[in-house]
Amino acid sequence: DTGVSQDPRHKITKRGQNVTFRCDPISEHNRLYWYRQTLGQGPEFLTYFQNEAQLEKSRLLSDRFSAERPKGSFSTLEIQRTEQGDSAMYLCASSPNRGDYGYTFGSGTRLTVV
């Protein structure tokens, strides 16, 4: 069990560029979650997967955002045509069940859009 891994740790991009983040959950966890956190705020839910199925997307997730989890293993979160308001920490978490026992978070990807 190596924990939840996220890559990259930091990303600086110019406004209008596309970015993609990767998350590798704990291997036996079938649920994977994406959250976004800005300074002074708690994590905000974006989307989650059970295995390869994306079961819920937040209204925060505009059509510029897309997430995938092929084969129910790692997941990617892509942001197209980035805006300065997308600057945040993007957190991935996984859990073995419904989240009744809490999540394990990865280290996060800090995105800065300039």
Partner 1 sequence: QKEVEQNSGPLSVPEGAIASLNCTYSDRGSQSFFWYRQYSGKSPELIMSIYSNGDKEDGRFTAQLNKASQYVSLLIRDSQPSDSATYLCAVNKGTDKLIFGTGTRLQVFP
Footprint of partner 1 on this chain (CB under 8 A)? 31, 33, 35, 40-45, 48, 50, 55-56, 89, 91, 98-108
Q: How far is the CB of 53 from partner 1 (least distance, A)?
A: 11
Q: Are 94 and 103 in contact (CB under 8 A)?
A: yes
Residue 18 or residue 41: which is nearer to partner 1 going by CB? 41
Q: Please provide the DSSP assignment of 37-94 as one string.
A: E-TTS--EEEEEEETTEEEEE-TT--TTEEEE-GGGS-EEEEE-S--GGG-EEEEEEE
Nearest approach, Cβ of residue 16 and partner 1 (Å): 27
**Rounded to the nearest whole angstrom, what is the least distance from the CB of residue 26 to partner 1 in the complex?**
13
Cβ proximity to partner 1: between 82 and 106 the closer is 106
Q: Please state whether beta strands 109-113 and 10-13 pair in parallel, antiparallel, or not at all (unpaired).
A: parallel
